[in-house]
Every structure is written in C-alpha cells, then in structure tokens.
Structure 1
Amino acid sequence: MLVLLPPSETKADGGSGAPLDLAALSFPELTAVRERLVGALSGLDPAAASKALGLSERQADEVERNARLREAPTTPAIRRYTGVLYDALDYGSFTRGQRARAGRRLAIASALFGVVRADDPIPAYRLSGGTVLPGVGGLRGVWRVDLEKALSTADDLVVDLRSGPYAALAAVPHAVTVKVVTATGLAVSHFNKAHKGRLAAALARAPREPGTVRGLVSIAAAAGLRLEAVGKNALELVID
C-alpha cells in the first residue's frame, strides 16, 4: 500500500542530515526532472523568485531557502512538512515499528521532487504545485509523463489523499480516492486536512497491510474512523 499525502506550504526549519542528494531519493527515475527544477529554483534572482512564488518582502527568507537548496541541511520528509494534516498524523507519537511501516507506506506529493517517501531526506523549500517557474513553465507539463509513470507502478493499492494542485500534476487511474464528508453528505472543507491526517496515521500504523478497499475500511473502523465505499475506487470518510 502507498498512501499519497499532500505537502504543506509550511516547512520545518533546519535539520541534521547531509545536504540534498537527489540520486538517493526514492523513485530515482524522477532524478532528471528533480535536477532541472532544483537548478531552476535555486538559480532565480530574488526579484524573480518573489514574483514567481507570490512572496512579499517580509518573506525574503523563503527566497533564501531556495537559493541554498543544494547546501542546506536535510531532514526526513515526514518531519519537514508541517501544518494541520501533519499535526493530526502525529508522527512523533509513532513507535519504532510504526515508523518503519510509515517509511514504507507513506509518500508525499511535491512540486519540487514529484513524490518522496516519508524517510527521504529533503531541505526546506518553497514551491507550490500551481507555480509557473521562469525558464521552466507550468509544473504539470514538467511532471506529468514521468510522475504518472512512476506512480503507476509504485504499488497495486494506492490511496490518494492529495489536494487538487498536486493531483493535477499526475493522474493515478488505479488509485483509491478519499473525500471527507458529513453524515448528511456535505463535503468538509475546514477540517478536511485534519481528518485525512488521522486516516493516514491509521493506515501507516496498522500491523497488517491491506490489499483491498475492504481492508482499508476495516483498518479505518479499528481506529474509530468511518470509511464508506461509494464506487470501485472511491471512498468517503464520514464525519458525524
């Protein structure tokens, strides 16, 4: 099972890992595209970077982060990304065995790296899925072919929790999608990320790996979460 998480705009600072080694990241078939994007992003002058990324003068540190991509310290991706979903996932509370399972099962969509596994060491950066990068263009055109190919063979059971801009970078036709809804069927927006984080935690922690949609429903139920099948590859996470 591979659980695809969305990234977060906010990233934790620092890290104790060696500088970025693109060839050491999971999904090595994406290395060439990663190299192109890292070079383009880190090479932007401050004014062009701020404009492309929609940053204000008070966010100059974000531009500096990108300029230092190749020499900055790294930390595992699951610790680098922060925010509501990652707070709800609560990786810090995982046991050693659960962290090992999370390393195999969790992957994070990324505008810069395409997709990384939870344990992949990455630096802090700023780049969103909808960015048009000078000298490169829209990221969907850059990622689509290579990323779709990588994800199509990543695992037989893929649970896609990505948000819109990152789902748009590459389609995963066989993936199981999850929509967060109320008991009356209304889509949940405000707490959507938190509920997906709890589901991701349940799937990562589970002692046995599910091979079917029915298995996903069972794992969620054991964690007190209500998943309902609404199609062959579509689930709803129902919030009372």
Structure 2
Amino acid sequence: MLVLLPPSETKAAGGEGAPLDLDALSWPKLTPVRRGLVNALVELAADVPASLAALGLSERQRVEVERNAALWTSPTLPALRRYTGVLYDALDVAGMTRAALARAEQRLAVASALFGLVRGADLIPAYRLSAGSALPGTDPLRDLWRPALEPVLSTVDELVLDLRSGAYAGLARVRDAVTVRVVTEDASGRRKTVSHHNKAYKGRLAQALATTRANVSTVDDVCRVARGQSMTLERTGELVLDLVVS
C-alpha cells in the first residue's frame, strides 16, 4: 500500500542531514523536474520582492525566501519530520516506535510542488512552494509535473490511497487510486463534507494505516484497520471511501 499525503505550508526548521542530494531521493525519474524547480527557486530568491509576489507571501515571511535561497546548502530532515501542521500533528511521527516508523517511511509518500513525490525517509530541506504558485519564466507547475509524475505513479503496483488536497491532486492524476472523503451524517442520513478538521482526520487515518503490522493490500483491509482504531470508514463507490465523523 502507498498512501499519498499532501505537504504542508509550514515546515520544521533546521535538520541534521547533509545538504540536498536529488539523486538520493525516491523515484529518480523525477530528478530533472526537481532540479529545474530547485534552481528556479534559488535564482528567484535573489529578488526578494519578486519571490514574495510569486509565492504569495507577505513581507513578514521573508524567511521563506531565505530558505529557498539556501536549498542546495541547508541541512535536511526526513520528509515525515520536515512537514508540520494539523495533518502531521495527527500523524504523530515523534510518537512512533522504531518499527512503526520504518513501516510508515515505506507506506507514506508526500506529494509536493517542489519534489513531486518523496517517501517518508527521503531527506529534504525546508522550502516554500505551493501547488498554486507561478514561478516567473517557468511553465505552470501542473504542466511540469503531469508528464513526469503520472508515468511514475502508473508504475506503482500496489493499492494507492490518495489523501491529497485538490491542488496537489491536480499536479498528477493517479489511475485506480482510492480517495477518501471526510463527512458528517445528520439524523436523516444525509452526508456533508467536512472542511474543518479534515486534515486531522486524514492524519489519524494515515497514522493507523502506516503503523499497523497487518498487511494492507485491499480496500477491505483499509476499512478493517480503520475500524480497529474506532474510525467509521465506508466504501461508497468502487474507488471512494467515506470517513464518517461526528
């Protein structure tokens, strides 16, 4: 099983790893696009006002531009420790045992605007680039990533659970991926998509699937693991699951 996670705008600072080595990242066929985007961000960082405008940042967020300027030289962290925020708080990597973390690093992948797709243990620096960003002098991110990323994802020969947000799902389609809606249900049985706390619920689900000792290779397996963690996960379509929350 491969669980696709969205990245987060917020990143942990610092790191203990050596500077970025694109050749060491998973899915090396993505290296040319990764290299082009890293170089573009470093070059853009030399012009702070242009960087702030392109990345949709305020003057108070200049530190994000400084991070981009140092992409080739700054220390790295495993992807599952680099990303922070609501989903990653619920994932709780820091609370995992060594064995559970090893499973999570293999089962979880983060889909991002800068690296396309990385496994949980891949070493990456802090950076700022969102799926909706438009970098001067480069093609739209979707046009860069789809031709490279979709063929890579098509070779994944295991169950793919897609927890990406809409903007990141737009960077690459994944045929036969199973998606999850977080919904509430009223007294009449009518369901409504949850926006608030959506990320937290998906983080809990990802944590359960990533750390279980059970083999997870089918949709039924996914639902079984969720039930074991007191989550209500129901199949509502061939490739759609509803995570029902109160």
Q: TM-score range by the shorter chain?
A: over 0.9
Matched with 2:163 is 161
Runs of 4+ aligned structure 1 residues displaced above 4 Å come to none
With the length of structure 1 as denominator, give the TM-score of the two structures: 0.98
CA drift at 1:54? 1.2
Instruction: After superposition, give the CA deviation of every residue in 1:146-191 in whole Å (9 maximum; x if it has no partner).
Output: 1011111124200000001100000002100000001231110001
Matched with 2:124 is 122
Between the aligned partners of 1:60 and 1:235, the Cα distance in structure 2 is 40
Indicate conservation of the 8 Å contact 1:2/1:155, yes or no. Answer: no
- The CA RMSD over aligned residues, in Å, is 0.8
Q: Which SS does the other structure have where 1:228 is aligned?
A: strand
Instruction: After superposition, give the CA deviation of every residue in 1:60-92 in whole Å (9 maximum; x if it has no partner).
Output: 111010010000000000000000000011111
Indicate conservation of the 8 Å contact 1:11/1:82, yes or no. Answer: yes
Matched with 2:18 is 18
Matched with 1:86 is 88
Identity %: 61
CA drift at 1:145? 1.1
Instruction: Judge which range, 57-66 or 194-203, deviates more.
Output: 57-66
Alignment of 1:132-211 (within 5 A): 132-184=134-186, 185-211=191-217
The one-letter amino acid paired with 1:116 is V
Structure 2, unaligned runs of 5 or more:
none
Between the aligned partners of 1:140 and 1:203, the Cα distance in structure 2 is 29
Structure 1, unaligned runs of 5 or more:
none
Between the aligned partners of 2:156 and 2:37, the Cα distance in structure 1 is 22
Choose from 231, 236, 239 the match for 1:233: 239
Between the aligned partners of 2:158 and 2:78, the Cα distance in structure 1 is 25
Between the aligned partners of 2:118 and 2:215, the Cα distance in structure 1 is 20
Between the aligned partners of 2:25 and 2:15, the Cα distance in structure 1 is 16
